[in-house]
Structure 1
Amino acid sequence: VKLPYIYIYIYIYIYIYIYIYIYIYIYIYIIVSSRWAESKHKSDYGQWKLSAGKFYGDAELDKGLQTSQDARFYAMSSRFEPFSNEGKDLVIQFTVKHEQKIDCGGGYVKVFPADLDQAEMHGDSQYYVMFGPDICGYSTKKVHVIFNYKGQNHLIKKEIRCKDDEHTHLYTLILHPDQTYEVKINNEKVESGSLEEDWDFLPPKKIKDPEAKKPEDWDDRAKIDDPEDTKPEDWDKPENIPDPDAKKPDDWDEDMDGEWEPPMIPNPEYKGEWKPKQIDNPNYKGAWVHPEIDNPEHTPDDSIYKYDNIGVIGLDLWQVKSGTIFDNFLISDDVKEAEEFGKETWGATKVTSFSIYFAHLCSFVLASEVAKLYLI
C-alpha cells in the first residue's frame, strides 16, 4: 500500500533536484554571459563552455570557463570598473586546470586597458600584463610574466617553471609600487625580484667606455711556450709507413699494373706534432677588463610598475588539445585579500578534487587490468 507513495516521493525529489540544477546552471550561464564577451575578430574562434570538468572538489564551486574544441584560438574578455595601481599593489590571480593532459597550449591571462574593443580583441591587441602558464612539448613549461612599457612588451629574463599535471593550480602575480614583484603558485612564492633587474625596460646603467682600449703591451696570456724546451732529434717520424709484412702478389704484372707499392700502415713511432711545454708567463697581467662608464641614455623611472587605466581581463590563447578550465579570477590591490580568496576557492576544494582524481585514476587502472585479463 505504501509503495506508490514512495515512488511519488522519489519522483518529486528527482524533479526538484533537476529543477534546482537547471535553475542554477541557467543562472550561472546568464551571469557568465553578461560578464564575459567573446571576440568576433575571427569567425573560427574556439567555443567556451561552463564546466567543473571530469573531477572536482565541488560541482558548483569548481565550475569555470573551459575550452571545448581542439586546435583553436580562443578569445574572451571581461570588463570591470577602470582603475590605476599608482601607489598601490596590483594583484592578478586565477586558477588553471589542464585536466586534458595538455600537450601544447596557453593557460595565461592578459590584463588590458579599459579602452579595449572587446569585440575586436585578438593576439596583437595591446595589453598591460600577460601572466600565467604556457606549455608546449617538453621544452616549454614556463610561467609568462610580460609587461608592456612604453608600447613595447618585455619578457622576464628568468625562467619560471609552471605546473604541468592535471590538477587545478592557483597562479598569483603581485606588483609592488617599490618596483618589485612576486610570483606565487598555489599560494607559495616561486620567484621575486626587481622590475629593473629582471626585465630590460631601461637601457643599462653602465656601458663600456668607448674611449678605452686595451694597451698594446697588455699581456693576457697565462701560459707561454718554454723557451728552454727543444724538440728531440728523433721526434720527427712519418705518420704512415709501408707495411713491412706486405708482399707483392705473384700475379702482379708491372707492365699492366704499374710499379707495385706496399700498402701504408700507421707508424707506431709517430708522435705527432711537437709542441714545447707550457710555463707560467712572468709578464701575465690577467684578463683585461673593459672599463665602464655611466650610460648617458639611462634615465631612472620609478613608475615602471604603474598602469593608469586597467579595465579588462581576457583570455587570448591557442590550444592544440582543449579541456583547460579557468576560474577564480581576481584583480585586487590587497595581497592579503588575494591570499584569503585563494584559500576560500582553490584551497577549499583542492583536497577533495585530488581524492576524486585519485579514485578516478584507480578505477581507470583497474578497468585496464580487467580488460587485459579478459583479453588473455
Structure 2
Amino acid sequence: MKIHLFAVLLGVALVEAKVYFQETFSDESYVSRWVQSENKGKEFGKFKLTPGKFYGDAEKDKGIQTSQDARFYGLSTKFEPFGNKGKPLVIQFTVKHEQNIDCGGGYLKVFDCSLDQKDMHGDSPYLIMFGPDICGPGTKKVHVIFNYKGQNHLIKKEIRCKDDVFSHLYTLIVKPDNTYEVLIDNEKAQSGELEEDWDILPPKQVKDPDASKPEDWDDRSTIPDPDDTKPEDWDQPEHIPDPDATKPEDWDDEMDGEWEPPMIDNPDYKGEWKPKQIDNPDYKGPWVHPEIDNPEYTPEPELYKYDEVCSVGLDLWQVKSGTIFDNFLISDDIEEAKLIGEETWGSTRDEAKKMKDGQDEEERKKAEDEAKAAEDSKEDNEDEEDEDLDDEEDEDIEDELGHDEL
C-alpha cells in the first residue's frame, strides 16, 4: 500500500513539474517573440543569429550574438505569467564569449508583467539578475541579485565565472526552503541560505545600545614589565663622526669653513629602549559587545517566492562584441533542467572544442609558414644584395685593370 501511494505521489509530482519558458533560437522566427528596446538616449547594438566561429553542431549551437562593439543591448520576451509558491525556481542559459571578452555583461534579467519592453533600460525594475560579468582582470564574477520590496540585493559571496572562449551553462536554483544553488556547467559553484548570503532582511540580532565596555575592563594581553630597567650604557647616539676620516690637504678653513668629519652609523646604537613585555595578570580577554534581538527583524518564510514571473531580457553593455546567448530555460524542475542542459549545451561542447583546437592548429601552422616565408624572403634579398656587391667589385677591378693598360 505504501509503495503504491509513493508511486501515485511521484506520478503527481512528475505531472506538476513544468517548463515555463524555453528558447533555443533555432531559426529567425525568434524575432517575432523578442522585442528590441527603443529607450531614448541609448545606442543599441544588433543581435545576429549564428553558431559562431566554432561549434559542435551548426544548428543546435545557434544563438543570438552581440555584433557591434561599445553598444548597449536590450532585448526581451514575455511568456505566460506564473508564481513559484511551494516550488523551486530554475533559471538557466548558456553564454559563449568567443571574442575573449575584456569588458561586458553576460547576464539576464527576469521581470514581472509590468515591464515596458519597448522602453527597457538599466533602471527598469526587475526581479532577478543572474549571470556572468567580466571587466578587466579584477571583475570576473557571477551576479546573483534579488529584488525585495523594491530594493536590489547583491549576493555577499564571490562566485567566479568562466572567462574562456567556450560556451558555458549557468543555472540558478531557488528552493522553497529558502536555500539556493548556482551551477556552472551542471556543477555546483555556490550554495547556501537566502537570508544568510544576502542582506535582504534586517539582522536577527543587533548590538545592545545600552551596553558599553566597563571602564575597568583590561583587554591588554601583555604589559611592560614594571621591574625592568634600562641598562646604563643603553643611550648611544645614532650617528658618530667617522674616526677614519681625515681633513683633505686642500681644505682652506678661511674659504671652506671649519672642517668636520662626515657622520656614520654608530655600531653601538641600540635604538629606543622599551621594557620587556610580561603577561598581564588583569587581562580579561577581548570585550564582546552583547547582542539583543533586533526589533526590526521579522522572519520571512517565503523569501524565495515570486507571485508573478512574466518576462526575461538581456539588458547589458559590451565593449567588445561577440557573445552568444542560447538555451534559455525557466522551470520548476531541477533534474529536468540538468537533463535539458546536457541535451543542449552538453551534447555539443566536446565537438566545439575539437573544432576550436583544429582552428588554432591551422592558425599556428599558418603563422609558422608566414614566418618562414618572411625569413626566406629576407635571405633571398640578402643573397641578391651580396651578388650586387660582387658585381660592383668585379666592375671596379675591370676598371682598374683597364687604366693600368693605358
Q: How does 1:1-376 map to 2 (within 5 A)?
A: 28-29=27-28, 31-42=29-40, 44-376=43-375
Q: Report if the CA contact (8 A) 2:37-2:118 is conserved.
A: yes
TM-score by length of 1: 0.90
**What amino acid sits opposite 2:135 in the alignment?**
C
Distance 1:343 1:137 in 2: 30
- Which deviates more, 256-265 or 202-211? 256-265
Q: Aligned equivalents of 1:271 and 1:279: distance in 2? A: 21
For residue 204 of structure 1, give the secondary structure of its aligned residue in structure 2: coil
- Between 282-291 and 253-262, report the one with greater CA deviation: 253-262
Amino acid at match of 1:375: A
Q: Report the residue type matching 1:35 in the other structure.
A: R
Code of the aligned partner of 2:73: Y
Q: Deviations over 1:79-129 (max 9, x none)?
A: 111111121111100011111111111111000111100000001111000
Report if the CA contact (8 A) 2:26-2:59 is conserved: no
Structure 1 residues 157-209: Cα deviation after superposition (integer angstroms, max 9, x where no partner): 00001111111111100111111101011111111100000000011111111
The answer to whether the 8 Å contact 2:181/2:190 transfers is yes
Deviates more, 1:342-351 or 1:243-252: 243-252
Cα offsets for 1:267-309 (capped at 9, x unmatched): 1111111111111111111111111111111111122211112
Q: Percent identity?
A: 68
Distance 1:319 1:329 in 2: 20
Moved more, 215-224 or 146-155: 215-224
Match of 2:383 in 1: none
Q: Count the aligned residue pairs.
A: 350
- Alpha-carbon distance in structure 2 between the residues aligned to 1:254 and 1:367: 78
Of residues 81-90 and 255-264 in structure 1, the stretch that sits farther from structure 2 once superposed is: 255-264
Q: 1:184 to 1:27 in 2, by over 3 A?
A: closer
Offset at 1:254?
Answer: 3.6
Q: Distance in 2 between matches of 1:62 and 1:259?
A: 89
Distance between the aligned counterparts of 2:303 and 2:142, measured in 1?
21
Instruction: Give the Cα separation in 1 of the matches to 2:317 and 2:26.
Output: 29
Residue 226 of structure 1: how far off its partner (Å): 1.2
**Per-residue CA distance 1:15-73 (angstroms, 9 max, x = gap):** xxxxxxxxxxx9921x2111111000045200110000011111111111100001111
Higher radius of gyration, 1 or 2 = 2
Task: Please say if residues 26 and 63 of structure 2, whose CA atoms lie closer than 8 Å, have aligned partners that are also in contact.
Answer: no
Which range is displaced more, 151-160 or 301-310? 301-310
Determine if contact 2:50/2:62 at 8 Å carries over to the other structure: yes
Distance 1:142 1:237 in 2: 57
Query: C-alpha separation between the residues in 1 aligned to 2:145 and 2:90?
Result: 14
Q: Which consecutive unaligned segments of at least 5 residues does structure 2 have?
A: 1-24, 376-406
How far residue 262 of structure 1 moved from its aligned partner, in angstroms, is: 2.2
Q: Aligned letter for 2:327?
A: N
- For residue 371 of structure 1, report the CA deviation from its aligned partner: 1.5
Q: What is the identity, as a one-letter code, of the residue corresponding to 2:356? A: Y
Q: Which amino acid in the other structure matches residue 72 of structure 1?
A: R
Please identify, of 169-178 and 237-246, the stretch whose mean Cα deviation from structure 2 is larger: 237-246
1:345 aligned counterpart, secondary structure: helix
SS of residue paired to 2:181: strand
**Runs of 4+ with deviation above 4 angstroms:** none
Paired position in structure 1 for 2:19: none
Please give the per-residue CA displacement for 1:200-252, whole angstroms capped at 9, x wherever unaligned.
Answer: 00111111111111111111111111122111111111111122222333444
SS at match of 1:285: coil
SS in 2 for 1:353: helix
Distance 1:74 1:171 in 2: 20
Instruction: Provide the C-alpha distance between the structure 2 equivalents of 1:309 and 1:160, rounded to a whole number of angstroms.
Output: 27
Rounded Cα–Cα distance in structure 2 between residues aligned with 1:148 and 1:27: 32
Secondary structure at 2:27's aligned position in 1? Answer: helix
Q: Distance in 1 between the 2:374 and 2:307 partners?
A: 65
Output the amino acid matched with 2:84.
N
* 1:13 corresponding residue in structure 2: none
SS at 2:230's partner residue?
A: coil
Structure 1 runs not aligned, ≥5 long = 1-25
